Each structure stands twice: as structure tokens, then as C-alpha cells.
Chains A and B, each alone.
Chain A
């Protein structure tokens, strides 16, 4: 028997996220939602639509385009903002490199330098609240971060000086120049995201589904051959059925072996998997035990 007046887990998470999004819209001067086209950000955008329907989302979305994105994800992003009538701001890392704001790093990763680009764009547009799709289950530094995460006027996170966060009372008070990063999906797990995508029919980029692709193996990870990944000397290309678990930069995001070509199969696959999504797919997170904390201190998402 279904008990009366009880929400199931997804409905409870959904209600909490909508509450958070509405608090930001009500209290902050100029919010913006970070939208990359990945599964978490599309779920967050879906929740934002629900929070204000039938009115439109009362803030723009921003994509920090590293210039290394999968073309499929950029196409998906553009299709969604057009269909849903959302205002898109693009902050381009390539443009920032060309202007000399940031310099390309030797390892080819633009993960770190995009922080400067994000902060510059936020300042230009006067955003005082940025919604991010990060989840606490992703990474252990994130597990310690507040839903309303205060940033000083340099965009920096100070993990030892976080505002206590109790009940559902969020403190978004900031002085000019300071800002809040808001994580409405803090309490969601990867499986919750996929179950919600299934339940609500949320569109996602095709790359999430298993497909036979030409891949090369590097450091025990499979990289699909694309315009950013070409076989190096000595590497052989083989065909595998793979899918992407995350949508990072195309040159550094690995694919995983998978037969899951539907959302249902992805949910079932995740119930059995023994590796975290970042561990399985990100070459750039393995640098050190504190890589994420360090980047967040600098103002990363």
C-alpha cells in the first residue's frame, strides 16, 4: 500500500530543488544558470522551467565553451535553448586565449583556465548568483559544499569559512562584487538523475547512449576517435560499443564499454557499476587528491 501524503524519493528531491531555485529567483538580483548541455545541467534547466511555469525562466543560461566540446553537445545546447525559449550567454575560452586573458596549459586541458573565463563573464554581466549542476556524490570536496555556496569578490570558495546551512533556510546575502553559487542538485545521485530523465522524458545528447565507435586506449581508458582525439603513433584503433557517462572536453573525456542504448538500460547499468563517473571518464581529475578543492578555491564551478 502506498502511504498517503508521502513523496517518493525523486519527487522529494524535485520539490527541494524547485524550492532552492525559487529562493534564488526571489532573493538574488541577477541569477544565471550554468548550462553545458550535459545530463545534470539539462535536469537543472528542466527543474527551473517547472519552478516558474507557465511563466518563462526569469534568468538567462550561460555556457562556458572551452572550444573542446563535443559538437553533438553544442548542437544539443543550441536546439534546447531555441526550443525552450531560453536566453543563452556564451563565454568562450578560445576567445579568451586569443585575447590573452588566459594561456593554454601544456597538458591540453582547458578545465582549469575556464575558471577565469567564467569569472570574467559573470562580472561583465553582473551575475550575483550562478546555478551549477554539481552533485555532492560526485566528489568528496563537493560533498562538503553548501547548497548556497558563498564566493568572495574574487569568486573564491573558502571551505573552512562556509556559512552554516540549516533547515531549508538559505542565506544569499552578499555585498556588491560577492556572489553565491547555488547547487540545486546537491542531494541527487547519478542514478537519481537518470531515473528522473526517464520519468520526465528529459532530452539528453545522443552520446550518452551506447553506440559502436572507433576507440583508442590510453592509460586504461577508452577514447573515441573524433576531431579532438586522433590515434597517436603506436596506437591502434579498435571498434567497441561504448557510451559517455559524462560530457567533459572531447579531448579528455573517456567513454565506457556499455550496451546501454536506452535510458532504462543506463539506469540498470548504473545499479551494477562499481566505478564512479569521474573515475571512469575523466583524465583530468586524477591529478591529485585535492584537485577539485584547489580548483574550487580558485572559483571553479
Chain B
């Protein structure tokens, strides 16, 4: 079975990130001759000394003109074992917004470290953002090993330094791979130059990484997207509650409870995309049919009676501010989308602003501007059915939109409430 793996990379040209991605695509045969030719042509016209593989991913005119990556680009490649979706994001601090976006759906984060420079502020920031966004696997590629004489000591030194930092972040799975993206060592093919390294190559590691247990299969959560009620004679009695399973395993015959009403019923059928199925689990899109006709509509949530999310109008969250035009205002109100439910939310307080390079908490901060992250308290206009983000990414996240412009202005990560209510 071919599994889908979502990978986020962050980095800049200096780290050799584009070279690494180019190498992955090229060596896994996902790079096409006409794409390569086009890139070579542009590089030649510009008078570059080498073929600039960044041109492959820099899809916008502004990016090519300025030689910088501005926005997330998605790349696709596959091996017989896995299909990969690679969210390629720029690494500089002014693009934190894009890194957060790329990491929000990633199973794995790929972090690049230049072997000559070692850990930098940027690598610390990338590791922090990956952990904040709940990416449970990090692969650290110590790149440009060719420029440090393939030194095992240097590799060990950087790995230890990264470990020291990461231990504070609570990421459970960190793997280090010494590579030379330029020459290809340990990217797809094993390095002849680093026989001392007995781990897997980058691609092999990505192919075998165990991610299926990252999903929450315990807490049943089905946010209802819409109710499917055909008006035809043949399907007169069909009432399907459609949604994407956000957590747990639902089975025909299971007892369920619906929020916010609290009504209970029993699952009589589950319809998958190709007909009835016995069970539904994340991330299936299904319809659930119930034994009783109860009032359920979009924004409701189907759960198990003895395992409910927190029903609350008060949220504590880490908020990443994403809008360049206006800052987060304390006391301001925004449109909030959580699962399939829109509400309004008022910002009641900003506990602190986080320095994402040092993790220092500035408790005197009174606003958040573009790319800043802080801990906030929100009050929503209707009750929301939430879990802590660390328990469930889907029921633990939300976005804020500005009601005046409709722009998405912030991403929110729900943290367990620590304060007494």
C-alpha cells in the first residue's frame, strides 16, 4: 500500500535547501526534462555559474526577479512505497507565516543545517515552529558535509547541540542525517564518503518513517459539514451527516452523542465515497446515519457519550499573527473558524508575546504584528467543542478572519487551560 506523507521544509538558498529538494526530485525521477531545460535556459540567460534549482520552486515572477522564495510551494514525488507532498517554505523570519502554514499539515519537518555554520538562530526557530505546530517527527539534514571533510566529529557536535535545544521542545522523534545535497551523498543514495554513518539515507528514512500512530484514534470527533437529504422518492429516508473524521474510530452499532444538543443515538450505517463501510477513521470523508431523527446541523459534532471534547466559549491559545496591514488588537473582535463552525471571538487578553528565536516571553507586549506569536485569551460568541492541539490537531486549531476585509489574519493553537475560571 502506498501511503501519503506530508513533509514541510524550511530554509533559505544559503542552506542548500533548493539544491536538496532538486536532488530529491531529480534522484527520485520526479523532475522532468522540460522543467530542467527551462531552468537551465533561465540560469544561462542570467549568467549564473550553475543551474539554479530554486527556479523550479520559485513559481512567481516576483520570486524569480528578486531571487527569493516568498510563498509556500507544493512539490510532489513518489517512490514505490510512498507518495510525498512537500510543502517548501522560505526560511527567513519575515516568512514565519508561511512556515507555520506549511507545518500545519505536515507529518514530518525537514530542517537544514549548514555543517560549517552549525546551529543558527534560524534552525532553532524552525525547530520551535515545527514543535508548536505539532509536527511529531523532525529530520535534521546536516548539509554541506563535503565542505567539512565529511567529518564525523563535526556531525556529532551539531547533533548534540540540536538535541540540547530540542529537548526543551518536546519533539519525540528527531533523526540526523549527514548529507551533501550538491553531490547527492545520503540524499537518495548512500554516501561512499561517510562510511561511518550507519543510519538511513534521507529518502529511505522518509519512506519508512512510522506516522500512522500519530493520528488520534481514541477520541471520536466528527464535525458535521452538512446534512445530506435527497429529495427523491427512493432515498426519502436518507439523512446522512457528512464530515471528515477528525479523531477516533466510528463503527456501525456504536452509541454516539451529538454536541451541542447532547442527544444520543446509535450509528446505523456509515457511507464512504464508494458505498457502505463498517468503520470510519481519520481522515476519511464519510456520512453517518443514525437510528433516531434528531436535530443535527452544520457545526455540530458527533462524539462518544463518555468521551466529549471541552465545550467552552473561553479559549487559551498560541496565536500566530499573519496580517501585515493591522496588528492583533486586545479587545478587538474577529470571525473565528473552528472545525466546521464560524463564530465571533473577542480578544480578552494577551498573556505574553514569544520571541521565537530565544523563546523569551515578553509579558509587557500589548499587540502582535505580522509573524509574531503570543499566548492569548479569547471569548467566542457560541460554545466551541475543542481539544488541546497536542491531543488533536483538527479540533485543537482555528483561524481568525478580519470581519472588515475577510482576510485570514491569524492561526490559533488551543492550549489546555491553566488558569482557574
Contact = CB atoms under 8 A, between A and B. Distances in A.
A144 B73 contact: yes
Interface string B238-281: 10001110000100000000000000000000010110000001
B215 interface: yes
Contacts of A276: 32, 34-35
B346 interface: no
Contacts of B234: 54
Given A171-B401, A171-B408, A165 B238 contact: no
Given A163-B408, A275-B34, A9 B60 contact: no
A129 interface: no
A143 B389 CA distance: 28
A169 interface: yes
Given A50-B273, A163-B408, A293-B60, A3 B212 contact: yes
B225 A23 contact: yes
B406 A173 contact: yes
Interface in A165-181: 165-169, 171, 173-175
A242 B282 CA distance: 42
A82 to B, nearest CB: 18
B400 to A, nearest CB: 10
A19 B42 CA distance: 39
Contacts of A12: 3-4, 283
Interface stretch (A63-71, A118-126, A133-141, A254-262): A133-141
Nearest to B297: A26
A56 B226 contact: no
A8 B72 contact: no
Nearest to A199: B274
Contact of B225 (A26, A55, A187, A280): A26
Interface stretch (B114-122, B152-160, B359-367, B391-399): B391-399
Interface string B23-35: 0000000001111
A186 to B, nearest CB: 7
B76 interface: yes
A169 B337 contact: yes
A136 B76 contact: yes
B61 A169 contact: no
Contacts of B100: 164, 166
Contact of A159 (B71, B76, B401): B71
A19 B105 CA distance: 15
Contact of A26 (B35, B56, B273, B340): B340
Q: Which bracket fits the contact residues of B?
A: 35 or more
Given A2-B1, A186-B74, A16 B225 contact: no
A144 B60 contact: yes
B235 A293 contact: no
A18 interface: yes
Given A166-B101, A187-B76, A275-B33, A6 B3 contact: yes
Interface string A5-49: 111111111111011001101100000000000000000000100
A interface bracket (residues with beta carbon within 8 Å of B):
35 or more
A140 B56 contact: yes
A160 interface: yes
Nearest to A19: B244
A200 interface: yes
Contact of A279 (B35, B85, B98, B217): B35
B230 interface: yes
A210 to B, nearest CB: 21
Interface in B27-75: 32-35, 38, 42, 56-62, 64, 70-75
Contacts of B282: 5
B399 A166 contact: yes
B60 A141 contact: yes
Nearest to A26: B226
Nearest to B335: A173
B397 A136 contact: no
A9 B322 contact: no
B298 A26 contact: yes
Contact of B393 (A16, A140, A142, A167): A167
A13 to B, nearest CB: 7
Interface string A138-167: 011111100000000000000110111111
A141 B59 contact: yes
A166 B60 contact: no
B377 interface: no
Contacts of B71: 144, 159, 162
Q: Give the residue among A14, A23, A166 with the most B Cβ atoms within 10 A.
A: A166
B285 interface: yes
Given A136-B76, A279-B32, A8 B1 contact: yes
B33 A274 contact: yes
A6 B212 contact: yes
18 contacts: A2-B1, A5-B282, A8-B1, A8-B4, A9-B3, A9-B78, A11-B273, A14-B273, A16-B283, A25-B226, A26-B340, A54-B230, A160-B70, A162-B71, A167-B394, A167-B399, A189-B78, A289-B42
Given A9-B82, A22-B243, A159-B71, 15 more contacts: A6-B212, A9-B3, A12-B4, A18-B285, A47-B273, A52-B228, A143-B75, A160-B60, A166-B411, A189-B78, A191-B78, A192-B83, A274-B32, A279-B32, A289-B42
Interface of B: 1-4, 32-35, 38, 42, 56-62, 64, 70-76, 78, 82-83, 85, 97-98, 100-101, 104-105, 212, 215, 217, 225-226, 228-232, 234-235, 238, 242-244, 249, 271, 273-274, 281-285, 298, 322, 335, 337-338, 340, 393-394, 397-399, 401, 406-408, 411
